[in-house]
Amino acid sequence: MKKQNNGFKIGCIVLFLGLTIYYLFPTLQWSLEQRHMESMTETERIQYENENHAKLQNLRERSLSLGLDLQGGMYVTLEVGTPQLVLELAGDFADDTLEDIISTAAQISRDQNTNFIDEFVAEFERRDPNAMLSRYYRSDAANITRRSTNSEIASYLRNQQTAAVERAIEIIRSRVDRFGVTEPGILQQGSNRIVVELPGVDDEERVRELLRGTARLEFRLTPETDEINNLKQQFVNYFSQLEEEEADTLADEGEVRNLLEIFDLRGSNQYSFGYTASTDTAAVNRILEKNEVQNLIPGNITLLWSANAFAYDNSIPLYEIIPVRSQIELTGDVISEARVAFDPTTNAPEVSMTMDSDGARRWARITGANIGRPVAIVLDNQIYSYPTVRSQINNGRSSISGIGGVQEAEDLVNILMSGALPAPLDIIEERTVGASLGEASIRAGLYSVMFGLGVVAIFMIVYYRTGGGIADLALMLNIIFILGILAGFQATLTLPGIAGIVLTIGMAVDANVLIFDRIREEMRGGKTLRASIDNGYANAMSAIIDANVTTFFVAVILYSFGVGPIKGFAVTLMAGIVASLFSAIVITRVIVDYLTREKTATVSFG
């Protein structure tokens, strides 16, 4: 009977060890793949990732993940731009009064740390108690009509804010997954904030653009050249007259008032409105935003900046403004696929896009009706390119060129495929844990585990002799089992998690201490070694189970109600309790039974 029991126990040990190796093996493979890719050039890495995408994705998902505190990374808190969302929901009904109310409410909300929508409604009613928000807001889907009350519209705006936050979380998660971050943490905080933890990320600016990019892709036509030339002439006439007025040439603070001083209206081609140095773009924007200058621009024309410099003057980038039609011909909603490609002539990276059936049909109509004219590809109000249509495009394909590099092209594909954010996101808090600090944490954690393991192992051997050596062997397997459990359940190993492992080391030998002391008591009572072992394990079992089960319940509570580091500690503690019970009760018993299989065998327990 005993042999049968041991056979079952040995089978369980082999099964548990096999599962542990199975779940930890992808971690070893992923580590080797990372080292291999780090030795490649950027172009080789992109090609290798594309060719082995499924394999790498599978390894990354199955490998043991390290937390932010161990491998470094970024912690970012984002805030959904509710004021901008509320303004956009008004659509064509929005006016200067609404914008002023939204601006005032936003300021009050920031200063007093209150809910923006509550402040918005209060400010609206304070200015005119009889005014109705239904003047600005309509929604057939939400049954918001001209007769809707202010409280109904306030509820509608709150629902829209909630939906915007939920949609933003989905989009951010999609972007982060495509970015290749393992085990990112994305949580909602309050009514309009999102906390993002990105382990292993060190390119801060790239992450900022990835998280904040609204990805509003638009296809717009350019005006006729005669219209562009007429607009240029109006600017020349207006600013030439302004130059003649000596008092208005410079502002009191020395601010540039004349656009012609910093902006060249000649442009790089007939469809360009003009260009300026990168150092003067802010001053040009200030001039263009003035009402008197805006009045010069026809309502069907919008002036947009190029996304990239088209030339350099003494190492200073030059950016141009391209006039486009205010009407949007096509949006990014029709894009069904986007990928990184390379121009066959220049080998420059670009983003190749494929449209769905509806988009392809509309794209064919647009290109067919505008042969010989440029179509501007606009992303987040910046023009990436404005290629001239040579012929009708029937296959629904287009591309974005003028991209800075392969990495930028990858990020652009990521953003396009994830979709546009429903509202702008602002980064209100950002913390970065450097890779070196993460490595230092790993070393410190490893040293603490090794030190704790070494001290416990030495004590057990000195105090319990052969029994202590058996417990030490089980302890080694215990740590391997813990890592296997974490990998199997796709948990994340954090610095507090390592503390949980160190605690588990002590708890694991605690069970063996109880067992071995019971065996020693039985032997002092005159029983044989075999009988003492049987009684020792049997009598210590209740105390071991009670102690570990209660601790396990505490870990479950910590995991359920804790966040961040507390959760990481609870995960490893639960895994450690399961592994330590198995190693202390099953593994050590099998080894002891094997050593005492002969009646004359002797095993020292101190």
Give 606's pLDDT tier (boundaries 50, 70, 90): low
Give 123's pLDDT tier (boundaries 50, 70, 90): very high
Please state, for a pLDDT cut of 70, what percent of the chain lies above it: 91
Give 274's pLDDT tier (boundaries 50, 70, 90): very high
pLDDT of 350 reads 82
Q: Is the pLDDT of residue 229 over 90?
A: yes
Q: Is the pLDDT of residue 544 over 50?
A: yes
Structure tokens at 42: 């950027």
Centroid of chain to Cα 200:
11
Whole-number Å distance between alpha carbons of 258 and 286? 11
Among 315-324, 505-514, 596-605, the range scoring the smallest mean pLDDT is 596-605
The average confidence (pLDDT) of the chain is: 82
Task: List b or e across 276-299, with b for residues whose CB sees 16 or more CB atoms inside 10 angstroms.
Answer: bbeebbebbeebbeeeeeeeebee
Average pLDDT rounded to a whole number, residues 117-136: 91
pLDDT of 101 reads 93
Whole-number Å distance between alpha carbons of 585 and 582? 5
Q: For residue range 376-414, what is the model confidence (pLDDT) as tens digits?
A: 888 778 888 888 888 888 888 877 776 667 777 777 777
Find, among 221, 399, 417, the residue nearest to 335 by Cα.
417
pLDDT of 4 reads 42
Q: Is the pLDDT of residue 230 over 90?
A: yes
Domains of the chain: 77-214+428-433 (no CATH), 218-399 (no CATH), 436-595 (1.20.1640.10)
Whole-number Å distance between alpha carbons of 285 and 305? 10
Whole-number Å distance between alpha carbons of 387 and 404? 17
Among 93-102, 437-446, 516-525, 579-588, the range scoring the smallest mean pLDDT is 437-446
- DSSP per-residue codes, 375-436: EEEEETTEEEE-PBP-S---S-EEEE---S-HHHHHHHHHHHHH---SS-EEEEEEEEE-HH
Structure tokens at 134: 């239904």
Please state, for a pLDDT cut of 90, what percent of the chain lies above it: 12
pLDDT of 214 reads 64
Structure tokens at 495: 């610095």
Residue type, 441: S
Q: Is the pLDDT of residue 451 over 60?
A: yes
Among 200-214, 270-284, 510-524, the range scoring the smallest mean pLDDT is 200-214
Q: For residue range 77-112, what is the model confidence (pLDDT) as tens digits?
A: 888 888 988 988 887 788 889 989 999 999 998 888
Q: Is the pLDDT of residue 418 over 70?
A: no
pLDDT of 3 reads 44
Q: Is the pLDDT of residue 250 over 50?
A: no
Cα angle 119, 89, 294; round to 5: 100
Give 251's pLDDT tier (boundaries 50, 70, 90): very low
Task: Please give the model's pTM, rounded to 2 decimal places.
Answer: 0.57
CA distances (Å), origin 567, targets 38, 106, 450, 506: 32, 35, 23, 20
More confident residue, 247 or 90: 90
Among 202-206, 254-258, 455-459, 479-483, the range scoring the smallest mean pLDDT is 254-258
Whole-number Å distance between alpha carbons of 199 and 585? 37
Q: Is the pLDDT of residue 247 over 90?
A: no
pLDDT of 183 reads 63
User: What is the rounded radius of gyration, in angstroms, for the C-alpha atoms of the chain?
Assistant: 34
